[in-house]
Structure 1
Amino acid sequence: MLHLYWPWLLLLLPLPVLLRLLLPAEPQVEQAALKVPFLDDFAGGQTQFLSSNKPWCLWVAYIAWFCLVLAITRPQWLGEPIELSVSGRDLMLAVDVSKSMEATDFKIKNENVDRLTAIQFVAGQFIERRVGDRLGLILFGTRAYLHVPLTFDRKTVRTLLNEAFIGITEDEPQTSIGDAIGLAIKRLQNEKVDSRVLILLTDGANTAGELTPLKAAELAAKQQLKIYTIGIGADEMMVRSLFGMRKVNPSADLDEKTLTAIADMTGGHYFRARNSEELEKIYGLLDQLEPVEKDKQYFRPKSELYYWPLAVAVLLTVGLATYRLRFS
């Protein structure tokens, strides 16, 4: 569909006619008559000069003016409306990067990896599937900080998650779960209610920060921020020692009671991920979260067309000027 961005500029079209009618005519200058005995020698030049004043020259000039005015109205071609995929969800990931995440009790493609690497692998696939959501990323250890603000750019979120490393936030090996929740509340408090979700992944207990996890959960509940907590780590693991192989519990420090309370207080759910398969299932369940419906948004691609009438106007003007200079 053809569309004019500034259609009111079409009011300029009659301007040359109005100027011709309203402005006073050029006064006639009386000059002395010159009698030339050999007038026939000037006949060709006089005919050419008169031909430059033919009425069609005015029509060409007016067509050039019309094309110029049409160009400045900024004509555009609007394509078919395209519906944008926007769910309206604001989803923040809070990932533990404390020293304890170095435990290699997860497997990816039959290879032992640390907990953070497993999260990066599985959460990366989850991020790619969240089409239409705004995603953000918080990293926390001794301190919590916003690594990626809310954005529709899923590729950037995944890249920066993969670039995170253990110990990036800490001066000493501690975990500030409460501060991570508090930072999420701060970043999401001005967003639409019922569209805010925090997914918090940790393998330990709160040992640092100014805000306790339960107090942070209470504030989150008041802000209607739903929190899904995920406890990371295997229940048992075989390690080599001086006395041979022995079983250990690498998740002994995991505070499941607090994580469950956080989820319950905010209307979320607590999940336990003992291996990569369970972690993938958890993200599959999170994929089933119903998005908040928004009014449908549409985008219409636009193609600028102003250069076509502008080119015609320039060509006609140059052609008319060349004709008058040559035959006048």
Structure 2
Amino acid sequence: MMSLAHPWLLLLLVAPWFIWKFSKPHKERVSAVRVPFFRDITAAVGAEAQQGAVVLRRGKFQMAVALAVWALIVIALAKPERLGEPVVVEKSARDIVLALDISGSMDERDFMGKDGELQQRLDVVKTVLKDFIAERDGDRMALIVFGSKAFVQAPFTEDLQSLTGFLDQTVVGMAGPDTAVGDAIGLAVRTFEASDVEERLIILLSDGADTSSRMTPINAAAIAAERGITIQTIGVGDPESSGSDRLDLGALEDIAKRTGGTFFVASDTDALAQTYARIDEMTPRIVEEASFRPSENLVWMVAALGSIIGVVGLGIMILMKRRQTT
């Protein structure tokens, strides 16, 4: 599709007509010889006397070349361009941080797999989490892992395959044996400082009570709520256990409620998959769309055509004038 960036400049096409119609003809004085017996001379040679003022006339070819060159100059000024097909660019309108507990208790083998055998908690979580990540195509996501300390395993990225690769590299105990839920939430809140979207979500998965945070999970959740960050919490431990392996259901539920999120409990593989499915339903993909049409500038083609017509036309007129004088 052809288009003009400045179509209003086409009004200049009629400029030559206005100049011809309303401007005064160019006058030029030339030297002449005054002859007293001019009439006798003209009669002797059989010539007819004419007015001294002469209006020069342009030939049809000259006018055609001049008008064509002018029209192409005006069209070039109007900036012709070829428009391509509309391109729609989708940009994620929400950022998600996955906060994953990889403390020593995640090495427990108490999750019943589909084959009926007990599997490691972290292996099951990673398998289900990969499916959840694959469904978030277009969202920006980051991965935080925590044990005794919290670390950013992967910063915000739209490359979900690379995020899955970072998830595969996580192993139990690489962040320490204890559980720092509060520090993980605080680190996630700081991670959002690089985010410029309004919708921000933390999905926190833990299988134990907080034992080593410098900031309590409740205080960290309060800060997240103040900054408009929602936290969805998932508990995968045994609430009946004791010590550091005890799952603090009350704390995880309080964290979610303080930020407007929801608390889930997953006791096996199917329950964990259903939990992520529910989160997916509650937080559907949010995108911002922007469309544009790529354009190809054609000014050079019009300008080149005008130059060729002008040069060729001038050459032809010079040749015609030489033939007339010989």
Q: Say whether the fold is shared (TM-score over 0.5).
A: yes
Structure 2 residue aligned with 1:255, among 248, 269, 281? Answer: 248
Call closer, same or farther: CA 1:63–1:274 in 2, change over 3 Å: same
C-alpha distance in 1, partners of 2:173/2:27?
86
Call closer, same or farther: CA 1:222–1:298 in 2, change over 3 Å: closer
Q: Aligned AA for 2:276?
A: Y
1:56 to 2:60 alignment:
no
1:162 to 2:155 alignment:
no
Indicate conservation of the 8 Å contact 1:85/1:131, yes or no.
no
The equivalent of 2:215 in structure 1 is 211
1:269 to 2:259 alignment:
no
Structure 1: give runs of 5+ residues left out of the alignment.
Answer: 31-49, 237-247
1:279 to 2:280 alignment:
no
Call closer, same or farther: CA 1:318–1:201 in 2, change over 3 Å: same
The equivalent of 2:235 in structure 1 is 231
C-alpha distance in 2, partners of 1:63/1:6?
15
Q: Aligned AA for 2:122?
A: L
C-alpha distance in 2, partners of 1:180/1:162?
19
The equivalent of 2:300 in structure 1 is 310
C-alpha distance in 1, partners of 2:178/2:6?
61
Q: Which moved more, 1:12-21 or 1:140-149?
A: 12-21
C-alpha distance in 2, partners of 1:167/1:287?
28
Indicate conservation of the 8 Å contact 2:65/2:309, yes or no.
no
C-alpha distance in 2, partners of 1:27/1:113?
104
Call closer, same or farther: CA 1:293–1:305 in 2, change over 3 Å: closer
The alpha carbon displacement at 1:253 in A equals 3.7
Call closer, same or farther: CA 1:202–1:290 in 2, change over 3 Å: closer
The equivalent of 2:291 in structure 1 is 300
C-alpha distance in 2, partners of 1:96/1:272?
14
C-alpha distance in 2, partners of 1:116/1:17?
83
1:15-36 deviations in Å (ceiling 9; x for gaps): 89999999x9798999xxxxxx
The equivalent of 2:185 in structure 1 is 181
RMSD value, Cα: 4.5
Structure 2: give runs of 5+ residues left out of the alignment.
Answer: 32-57, 319-326
1:63-95 deviations in Å (ceiling 9; x for gaps): 33133223xx36353756969586x44432111
Call closer, same or farther: CA 1:19–1:208 in 2, change over 3 Å: farther
1:256-313 deviations in Å (ceiling 9; x for gaps): 343233234333333222222111010111122155989xx55434131423x53243
Partner SS, residue 268 of structure 1: coil
Structure 1 residue aligned with 2:142, among 136, 140, 148? Answer: 136
C-alpha distance in 2, partners of 1:12/1:145?
66
Indicate conservation of the 8 Å contact 1:233/1:250, yes or no.
no
Q: Aligned AA for 2:305?
A: L
Indicate conservation of the 8 Å contact 2:96/2:142, yes or no.
yes
Call closer, same or farther: CA 1:55–1:230 in 2, change over 3 Å: same
The alpha carbon displacement at 1:223 in A equals 3.7
Call closer, same or farther: CA 1:174–1:75 in 2, change over 3 Å: same
Call closer, same or farther: CA 1:181–1:291 in 2, change over 3 Å: same
Indicate conservation of the 8 Å contact 2:239/2:248, yes or no.
no
Larger radius of gyration: 2
The equivalent of 1:95 in structure 2 is 100
C-alpha distance in 1, partners of 2:166/2:29?
80
The equivalent of 2:131 in structure 1 is 125
The alpha carbon displacement at 1:178 in A equals 0.4
Indicate conservation of the 8 Å contact 1:64/1:313, yes or no.
yes
Call closer, same or farther: CA 1:220–1:304 in 2, change over 3 Å: closer
C-alpha distance in 1, partners of 2:213/2:87?
49
1:93-128 deviations in Å (ceiling 9; x for gaps): 111233433344446664765433322321222123
C-alpha distance in 2, partners of 1:11/1:187?
56
C-alpha distance in 1, partners of 2:7/2:118?
66
Indicate conservation of the 8 Å contact 2:84/2:294, yes or no.
yes
Partner SS, residue 288 of structure 1: helix
The alpha carbon displacement at 1:199 in A equals 1.0
The alpha carbon displacement at 1:179 in A equals 0.9
C-alpha distance in 2, partners of 1:120/1:133?
19
Call closer, same or farther: CA 1:80–1:253 in 2, change over 3 Å: same
C-alpha distance in 2, partners of 1:175/1:159?
23
